[in-house]
A and B are shown apart, each in its own frame.
Chain A
Amino acid sequence: MSEVVFDRIVKTYQRNSIRALDDVSFSADRGSLFGLIGPDGAGKTSIFRILATLTLPDRGQARVSGWDVVKDYSKIRQVVGYMPGRFSLYPDLSVGENLSFFAALFNTTVQANYDLIKDIYRQIEPFKKRRAGALSGGMKQKLALCCALIHRPSILFLDEPTTGVDAVSRKEFWQTLGNLRKQGITILVSTPYMDEAARCENIALIQNGKILSINTPQKIAGEFPETLFAVRSNNMSGLLRDLRGMSGIGSCYTFGEFHHITFRQGIENPQKWLVGELESKHHHEIEFMQVQPTIEDCFIRLMKKDE
């Protein structure tokens, strides 16, 4: 049963000059955690705004909980929780005041749904009297999630909830999302961080308003068609230049402390060939190994293919 359906949506801005979404389709099942993964400007926010009934699509149909986003916008607004990409709470109101305001807005109280938010809210409760504008980035996001959850929505739209949040808080945030999913809430979440994608049930990789791939994170990573290697040396920038100059190398890009590379077909014993090549170009301390492709690797490959 699909809780969120996005069907062949086209959305343009500034009199059709900017194509934010180009024929985008996907669907998310009830109670699932669906991730929209893509860099800044990929079109993630446009998707959320259409689903949250805030903007109209130029073409195509979208349904949330069976309701049409254009016709039945007021029905959808009753059941969804929406956390916009940028901080959207009242900075001059305290943590507690923000929370109780949003609870009242949805005709409920903080007490009635406290169990749903208590895991997150406990962490910011010591700062209950502090103005929301004076909170740290991570705490702001936690408060925003609490405010989006306080009316016990059946569907949650989270637009980049972990952007600007430290690594520990990000981990906690995703644990919370997992817990919420167990309570039957359908969650649609976007993130520019590829490492977070693995925590979703299904992900859609988005680039330039187009969907590159939709699948489970494992399948997307498993579909990487080539063997992937990581290599490094004492001179990383020189290494990248040299690798790109070699005809036997298929693709090459920086990935953390290594460069990830694939080989063109027809090279026997690639390790021996490559190390020989690199030593002749005066590289030292060469490390070379085969690695498991991650979602980011897949994303980069799909992006290049798309271009």
Chain B
Amino acid sequence: MKQVFVFVRKEFYHVFRDRKTLLLLFGLPVMQIVLFGFALSNEIKKADIAICDYAHDATSQKIVQALNAGTVFQTREVLFSHREIESTLRRSDEKLVIVIPAGFSDDLYHQHKAQIGIIADAEDPNLANALIAYAARIIADVQSRVIPPSSLPMQIIPEIRMIYNPELKGATNFVPGVMALVLLLVCVLMTSVSIVREKETGTMEVLLVSPLHPVLFIVAKAIPYFLLSLLNLTVILVLSVFLLDMPVNGSILLLYAESALLIITALALGLVFSNITSSQQTAMLISLLGMLLPTVIFSGFMFPVENMPVPLQVLSNIFPSKWYYIIVKGIMIKGLGFAELWKETMILTGMAMLFLIISFKSFNIRMA
């Protein structure tokens, strides 16, 4: 046991004496959270719009007021002719132009049908879609207020309701993704690089020619990075809760337990990578490519998996990050418990076991 303790202590010396490692270990999660939280947010705040109101009646005023009431839109310009629309959008100052034709109220009350134009700058299609959806919702809201419920003929107003994330906060979506990304990256990278470094410096030769059992070696290599990853997880959680108002609706204990499961999976993967590579650069490259891309692409936090071709959807199942992402979203946002998440937990456990077995089997008791 003392062997393992001394070995773990040695690993901590390595980590704390190497500024680059420290920076990677704790700078990465902070950077990711800040980057995704503020810079890469797909949350829309104060989008500039232009209004071209030919009607100038009570209903159109209500719509304009309603559009400006929230935090999403702000009217930057009032246009007096639809001829200005194109030049306005071309200048890219406004993302959206709302055109209300003359006689809007009359049409609505007497013909029970009124038209309103929403013209969007679709340069960024996602943004345009989101803005149109917002605007349509606000208009529908106004419509339901101005038309008395008893009036005939009955009008069917589509009701858009957003649950779990009514303010459409970006954080709820990406924090679980960043957690998966950081834990996987850090664990896989740290373990594989730390073992490969022993090979590079030649210390592996000396370690092999010692009574230290390979299993103890692997355990001793895994413990420090397991502990550091839990610390990392705490940093991410504290940042997301206090900086990004991320909710933790479910059990925090379950969240840590599930994260520990992912960390073990990642450590085992790191061990596998370190067994098949012999230079730190290769280990780093494999870890980065093997973890970063699939996590970003297939976990569902950047691109919805449902929109992918079927073969890619099937492929997404083999990446542990996908299951962890589902679990974390379930716990943090929906407040789900183990009863609802046991299936995903089982899959993740199976992966952890598989990679652990592979890492033990592929461990080379001699020099490659």
User: Could you tell me which A residues sit within 8 Å of B by CB distance?
Assistant: 49, 52-56, 73-74, 77-78, 80, 82, 84, 86-93, 97, 100-102, 104-107, 147-148
Give CA–CA (A55, B205) in the complex, Å.
10
Q: Tell me how far the C-beta of A189 lies from the nearest C-beta in chain B, rounded to whole angstroms.
A: 16
Please determine whether A88 and B209 come into contact, CB atoms closer than 8 angstroms: no
Please determine whether B13 and A97 come into contact, CB atoms closer than 8 angstroms: yes
Q: Tell me how far the C-beta of B7 lies from the nearest C-beta in chain A, rounded to whole angstroms.
A: 7
B46 interface residue per 8 A CB criterion:
no
Please determine whether B209 and A80 come into contact, CB atoms closer than 8 angstroms: yes
Given contacts A86-B202, A93-B10, whether A105 and B207 have CB atoms under 8 Å apart is yes
Which B residues between 115 and 144 are near A, CB-CB below 8 angstroms? none
8 Å CB contact of A101 from B6, B208, B209? B6
Please determine whether A101 and B202 come into contact, CB atoms closer than 8 angstroms: no
8 Å CB contact of B367 from A55, A78, A89, A91? A55
Please determine whether B209 and A53 come into contact, CB atoms closer than 8 angstroms: yes
Please determine whether A90 and B2 come into contact, CB atoms closer than 8 angstroms: no
Please determine whether A90 and B202 come into contact, CB atoms closer than 8 angstroms: no
Within 8 Å CB of A97, what residues of B?
10, 13
Please determine whether B367 and A49 come into contact, CB atoms closer than 8 angstroms: yes
8 Å CB contact of A106 from B18, B201, B211, B367? B211
Given contacts A54-B367, A73-B365, whether A88 and B201 have CB atoms under 8 Å apart is yes
Which B residues between 1 and 49 are near A, CB-CB below 8 angstroms? 2-3, 6-7, 10, 13-14, 17-18
Within 8 Å CB of B209, what residues of A?
52-54, 77, 80, 82
Q: How many A-B residue pairs have CB under 8 A?
A: 75
Give CA–CA (A147, B2) in the complex, Å.
18
A sample of 7 inter-chain contacts (CB < 8 A) reads: A52-B205, A53-B208, A54-B205, A89-B203, A92-B14, A100-B6, A105-B6
Q: Tell me how far the C-beta of A128 lies from the nearest C-beta in chain B, rounded to whole angstroms.
A: 15
Please determine whether A54 and B6 come into contact, CB atoms closer than 8 angstroms: no
Please determine whether B18 and A92 come into contact, CB atoms closer than 8 angstroms: yes
Please determine whether A84 and B202 come into contact, CB atoms closer than 8 angstroms: yes
B156 interface residue per 8 A CB criterion:
no
- Size of interface on B: residues with Cβ below 8 Å to A: 23
What 9 additional pairs, Cβ within 8 angstroms, besides A73-B366, A86-B202, A105-B212? A78-B211, A84-B206, A88-B205, A88-B206, A89-B206, A92-B17, A101-B10, A104-B6, A107-B2
Nearest chain A residue, comparing its CB with the CB of B204: A88
Within 8 Å CB of A92, what residues of B?
13-14, 17-18
Give CA–CA (A57, B209) in the complex, Å.
17
Within 8 Å CB of A52, what residues of B?
205, 209
Given contacts A89-B203, A106-B210, whether A55 and B366 have CB atoms under 8 Å apart is yes
Q: Tell me how far the C-beta of B332 lies from the nearest C-beta in chain A, rounded to whole angstroms.
A: 38
Within 8 Å CB of B10, what residues of A?
90, 93, 97, 101
Within 8 Å CB of A78, what residues of B?
211
8 Å CB contact of A77 from B2, B7, B210? B210
Closest 9 CB pairs of A and B: A88-B202, A104-B6, A82-B209, A54-B367, A52-B209, A84-B205, A78-B211, A92-B17, A105-B210
Q: Which of B3, B13, B203, B367 has the most CB of A within 10 A?
A: B203
Please determine whether A147 and B210 come into contact, CB atoms closer than 8 angstroms: no
Within 8 Å CB of A49, what residues of B?
367
8 Å CB contact of B208 from A56, A77, A91, A107? A77
Within 8 Å CB of B7, what residues of A?
101, 104-105
